[in-house]
Structure 1
Amino acid sequence: MSAPDDLAATDRVATPPAVRGSGLTLAVVLLAVFVVPSSISGTAVALPAIGADLDSGVAGLQWVVNAFNLAFACFTLAWGSIADIIGRARAFAAGAALYLVASVISAVAGNIYLIDAGRALAGIGGAAIFAAGGAILSTIFTGTQRARAFGLFGAVAGIGVALGPSLSGVIVEGLGWRWIFGLHVIVLAVALLGSPAVFRAVGGVRRQASVDFAGAGLFILAMLALMIGIVQGGEWGWTSTAVLGSFAAFVVLLAVFTAVQRRVAHPMLDLSVLRDRRFVGVSLVTVVASFGFVTMLTYLPSYLTTVGGTSTALAGVLMVLLTAGVLVCPLAAGKLVSRGVSPLTLIYVSLACLVAGDAAATVFGPSFSVGVVALPLLVIGAGMGISTGLVDGQALDAVPAEKAGMAAGVVNTMRLGSEAIAVAVYGALLAAILRSTLTTGLPASGAGDPARVAGDLATGNLAAAARTAGGGAGVTDFLVRSYDDAFHTILWVLTGICLVLSLVIVALLRKPAQVVA
């Protein structure tokens, strides 16, 4: 997302402080922006229903989330450069149109692979909406109006994350999972109807620029190879030629990408910003948030319906406890900083909340009360919310002003890339642990294929897993216990990852800002 920042700086003098139609343009941009985070958080609630309806395996179902996250992470920077060349309004409209088409594909899909393809296309469109949308606001607003516009931009994104699960839960219960994507179609169609106002407000601002196609292609291929290895590891075997080949391809592609970035005139990622300890330390906070918060946001609804026996709608409502902090804490953190509280102190608090919250979430079980689980979820959400409002500003403060735009791109790449990896790691661990547990636990009862049972259970389809296991007294209880045990094991793994990363961050931030060796 570096290009929007650079463009804003270039065009600021030529842009009037108040652009005609700016209010309508702001509304159109915010409407499209709302769809993206609500889709990310809300689609997770529908995974069990999608898996049951389409009889999908765990790997295919994981890609409903992973395909979107991967595409969004890989194309955010590329869309910033593309917006330079074709114009911001045109890039925004193209992104909204891509997302709309992708949502239609997902809504009418008859198999999981078509949904996966639709979600990947939606991720590409979502990257354009965010990259071009931010550039549009920078173009038409100045001074306090710009600050207010970006405040609304962040608030709408937070509202989308917070309301996505509960809204999707109600839709799944009342209309069916396909209408989640149908709602995206409706909202984006309205946004596209308002896009002429965006074109009038922004105009045809363009600039001669070159897109780092080589860097973008290598980065996308490297991330894809890594994700394939993680997601398919349990199904293909972690020592299989295909999985080891995927990881090897990731290493090679990443090395080539690094070499290319050092040689091109306008790299997609300026690797020089990674030499500053403070910048690296603050940027790694986004990785902790991915493992500590985003994984729970994605997979907790399946746990609640499978182990807790809650309805999809109730699971969505309970997720508000997790997402409430994303709405409240960024504003609270900003006020504390304005009153003299050190931003680094608040970042340390956010890390502590993520570690402690994941550890405390082990209180979840087949029989739980809202009062018991509310505290861990609120703490995890607070950890995410506190850091959300501080990381970007602190990271940009650590680099020279002329590199601020590129640094913003690096932070967003680390944030979105780590989200995709964290979600994939969670899904792979869940499938592997369940497969191991059921392979040793089911044969004694003469049950069906343990791998198939594990696949059904990992997708949250408890009924199908019980049928495949042969039914009978105690089978369903055994499956629920197995899922519960796997969930708790993964929670401790996530806690450990967050703790180790937090210690690394503290070590980096405690040292004077200097070049890393």
Structure 2
Amino acid sequence: MNATSAVAARPAAGRDNPWLTLAAVALGVMMVGLDGTVVGVANPTIAADLDASLAGLQWVTNGYLLALAVLLIVGGKLGDRFGRKKVFVIGIVGFAVTSLLCALSTSIGMLVFARVLQGVAGALLMPNTLALLRAAFPPAELNRAVGIWGGSSALAVASGPIVGGLLVEHVSWESIFLLNLPLGLIAALVTMRWVRESKDETHVGSFDLPGVALLSGGLFLLIWGVIKAQDHGWGSAYVIGFGAAGLLTLVLFVLREARAKEPLLPLDLFRNRSLSAGVVLVVTGFFALFGILFFIGLYLQNVHGYSPVETGVRLLPLTATFTVSAPLGGLLTEKFGPRVPLCLGMLILAGCFLGLTGLEVDTGYGGQWPFYLLIGIAMGLVIVASTEAIVGNAPVERGGLAGGLQSTANQLGGVLGTAVLGSVIVSGVGSALAGNLADAGVPAETAGVIEGKTELIAQGVAPISPDMPASLAQAVTDASFQSFMEGLHTAMYVSAGLAFLSALIALLCSRGHGGGDGVAVHV
């Protein structure tokens, strides 16, 4: 960017403030983080109040995730093209308005529709938070700012289950969505008053609409297939068909981008080894983390019998530690570059996943919390360092695009982790259940019925009925829980292997220089 355009892009002195920019974007990511965790706590109440089926309830989450995942890169590109501040404010206001629509929903269909719109607004909001930070802070302070940004998100995630539980219990499930209205108002006002506008001043020409359609369509088809694998099985024609269609569409997207004059996602970004490795590490890190956390939540609630709020409290060593480890990750990345904290974080994750294979049905909390604490430390290092590897190695004028790429990798990893590891657990339960039922002395006739409820047992639920004798119900419960634990152990071995592989990939990462491939770009 030349000096003239840089001066033109900067508003009058005194209007822009890096730390108020950080405050505004932190409120934005807190809205998104808080919304995800409080909805999980409210699901049973929403189901009862809106008479929702399990599939309908799942789409309250999946509809949001799908819209968010397929549009994040588009949201970042819109910020680069039309102004990151402008698109961020639109996203903030849109998120608040759609939160109000969620609270006003009178049917599960209306709530799912509102959540999809909320995902669209989140896709405008999230990628531009990192781009605004990149434009506001000098390189020497950027990693510290990103660490605080990550800590803000972690604070929302940590407090979400507790805040949500209190609101649902003492107010209503609608109140968890209304919480976004004051947060959104403050963030929008601060942004409009004190945040400096920035965009890609070098852009000329039209927006790549065919690229938008191909990328969004390809990601949608791929993620849809992954989500539906739980219902149809990974080897089904349904899942294979959607997966193949998604991959083919993404190949067409790559071919389109290679020839487009103004591509949506310039492929030359991936010539930077650190950026490419950073994207892979975000996917693998969140694959392992979200996949395991989803089922640890089931373990705590269904096997140990904790309420959602009690589960949230017991996961505080992970989530609350993240509020400290994210800024720590920023300091380590600033001092050593991304390679050291990424390798260290992935190795800690691998060790924790291996350690958690020792969990049993009756393992007390004292045998759990140290692993949750270490996972929180590791993820703080990984998230901040991988952000530096991606955003720090992209040119400044492509900051929104790089932020969208990072956020897309985040969502993609989470969706894949939950779905893939879910199938691993279902398979593990199916392999172990017959033997465990026989060992527990369950009669063959009853065992045959129980073996048909593998997916329920894979959630940590024992399929007992009120008319079962107490001794038989106990035997079925013991066999079901033991089978769930064996499936969970298999998923943790898979996650540990993936984390070890990610530690090797992290060796490819190096410190960003602001312009990608070592070419400094000044704003």
1:347, 1:386 within 8 Å by CA — same for their partners in 2?
yes
**Structure 1 residue aligned with 2:300, among 293, 298, 304?**
304
Match of 2:225 in 1: 229
Contact 1:447 1:470 in 2 (8 A): no
Deviation per CA, 1:57-104, whole angstroms, max 9, x where unpaired?
655444443333332232222112323555444423332233234333
Q: Distance in 2 between matches of 1:504 and 1:80?
A: 26
In the alignment, what sits opposite 1:19?
A: 14
Matched, 1:413 2:408: yes
* Structure 2 residue 212 is the aligned partner of structure 1 residue 216: yes
Instruction: Give the aligned partner of residue 383 of structure 2.
Output: 388
Cα distance, 1:69–1:475 mapped onto 2, change above 3 Å? same
The AA in structure 1 aligned to 2:367 is V
In 1: Cα distance, 2:426 partner to 2:143 partner:
45
One-letter code aligned to 1:503: L
Residue 345 of structure 2 is matched in structure 1 by 350
2:356 is matched with which residue? 361
Structure 1 residue 36 displacement after superposition = 0.8
For the 8 Å contact 1:42–1:168, the answer to whether it is kept is yes
Match of 2:245 in 1: 249
In structure 2, what is the equivalent of residue 71 of structure 1? Answer: 67
Cα separation, partners in 2 of 1:112 and 1:424, compared to 1, 3 Å = farther
Query: Residues of 1 paired with 2:482 and 2:271: CA distance?
Result: 42
Change (3 A) 1:142 1:383: closer
**Counterpart residue number, 1:163:** 159
Q: d(CA) in 2 for partners of 1:289 and 1:140? A: 28
* Alpha-carbon separation, structure 2, partners of 1:271 and 1:52: 48
Structure 2 portions without partners, runs of 5+: 512-516, 518-523
Shifted more, 217-226 versus 9-18: the winner is: 9-18
Matching residue's letter, 1:364: L
Q: CA deviation at 1:424?
A: 2.7
* Residues 450-476 of structure 1, C-alpha deviations (whole Å, 9 max, x = no match): 76x55666667x59x545x86553437
Aligned partner (choices 193, 198, 202) of residue 192 of structure 2: 198
- Aligned match of 2:520: none
Query: Please, which moves more after superposition, 428-437 or 208-217?
Result: 428-437
> CA-to-partner distance for each residue in 1:157-188, whole Å, 9 max, x for gaps?
23223322333333344445443223234533
Task: For 1:476 and 1:264, locate their aligned partners in 2 and report how far apart those are by CA, in whole Å.
Answer: 64
Change (3 A) 1:110 1:362: farther
* Equivalence map 1:272-287=2 (5 Å): 272-287=268-283
Does structure 2 conserve the Cα–Cα contact (< 8 Å) formed by 1:297 and 1:319? no
What code does the residue aligned with 1:228 have?
Answer: W
Query: Is residue 2:95 matched to residue 1:94?
Result: no
Cα RMSD over matched residues?
A: 4.3
Q: Say if 1:76 and 1:128, in contact at 8 Å, map to a contact too.
A: yes
The one of 242, 259, 263 equivalent to 1:263 is 259
Aligned length: 502
CA shift for structure 1 position 315? 0.5
Consecutive unaligned residues of structure 1, counting only runs of 5 or more, are 1-5
The match for 1:3 is none
Out of 6-15 and 267-276, give the one that drifted further. Answer: 6-15
The alignment's TM-score, normalised by the length of structure 2, stands at 0.79
Question: C-alpha offsets along residues 428-483 of structure 1, whole Å, 9 cap, x if unaligned?
Answer: 445566678779969833997976x55666667x59x545x865534376357535
Answer whether contact 1:169 1:314 (CA < 8 A) is retained: no
Q: 1:465-484 counterparts in 2 under 5 A?
A: 466-467=464-465, 472-473=469-470, 474-475=472-473, 478-479=476-477, 481-482=479-480
Partner Cα separation in structure 1 for residue 128 and residue 88 of structure 2: 5
Q: Which residue in 2 is equivalent to 1:329?
A: 325
Q: Secondary structure at the match of 1:389?
A: helix
Q: Distance in 2 between matches of 1:48 and 1:491?
A: 27
Q: Provide the C-alpha distance between the structure 2 equivalents of 1:338 and 1:145, rounded to a whole number of angstroms.
A: 8
1:506 — aligned with what? Answer: 504
Matched-pair contact (CA < 8 Å) for 2:328–2:380: no
The 1:39–1:81 alpha-carbon spacing in structure 2 relative to 1, beyond 3 Å, is same
Provide, for residues 226-254 of structure 1, a one-character-per-residue CA deviation record: whole Å limited to 9, x for no partner.
22222222323444332222122112112
Larger mean CA deviation between 208-217 and 103-112 belongs to 103-112
Alpha-carbon contact 1:21-1:201 (below 8 Å) kept:
yes
In structure 2, what is the equivalent of residue 184 of structure 1? 180
- Provide closer, same or farther for how the CA distance between residues 492 and 52 of structure 1 changes in structure 2, counting only shifts above 3 A: farther
Counterpart-to-counterpart distance in 2, 1:183 and 1:476: 43
Distance of aligned partners of 1:57 and 1:478 in 2 relative to their CA distance in 1, 3 Å threshold: farther
- What residue in structure 2 maps to residue 374 of structure 1? 369
Q: Judging changes above 3 Å, is the alpha-carbon distance between structure 1 residues 417 and 27 closer, same or farther for their aligned structure 2 residues?
A: same
Contact 1:45-1:315 at 8 Å conserved across structures: no
Q: Determine if contact 1:83/1:90 at 8 Å carries over to the other structure.
A: yes
